[in-house]
Structure 1
């Protein structure tokens, strides 16, 4: 989760690449396994999920994500983002840091944070495959945000 990221981001980025890759493999293993379809979903949804969702990838990919995230943290001043931003987040999401997301979004001059707590998946907040129950409400919120900002 976000705590592990905060603890390890700088050591992994400052270490020689081979050492960082070995450390990531040692922490998470050779493969990172992503999301799964909930057990209550039917076979059709499972097959669709398996067809379109990347559920396994080499653990070394994490280094590239960490590089991207740290670059954004260091370079981007959210207060300077002048375009309208609508963000969706769930406080129960173990993948992201909700408080940091909330603080960053609130610091943007033209922004809104939509807290989604009713999705089937706490990280994938909407979408036909992972969180179908929120598609209509999230779509409505996006349309309302666009109307508000135009």
Structure 2
């Protein structure tokens, strides 16, 4: 039993470590952050054509909202920001799109109205982690 408890403690501390964190902020008194679970598989050199278009980013966002929003909720993008981010442990920066959006439920603003996600250049959506 003791070994199981130690194993669970080790697992929880590893899964919530700051490794891969590239942005932090406070929302409603809770710390929030974005982090890479694994480094992105696609990056950009800053000179050639981007490996994913805004249309591709929008498709990834729409697919994610269809799978993750509650029934009756609709998301509307307010901004797409191409950004270079760098975690403390990384040896390189990564390019991502920060997507701001608002959520309505049956036409009315939700309590958590303004939201954001990050989409890497492979189209993977990274959601914020808050309040751990």
The answer to whether TM tops 0.5 is no
Sort the TM-score into its range (normalised by shorter chain). Answer: under 0.3
Larger radius of gyration: 1
| RCO comparison, higher one (Cα < 8 Å, 6+) | 2
Determine which structure has the larger strand proportion and give its number: 2
Q: TM-score, normalised by structure 2?
A: 0.25
Determine which structure has the larger helix proportion and give its number: 1
Q: TM-score, normalised by structure 1?
A: 0.23
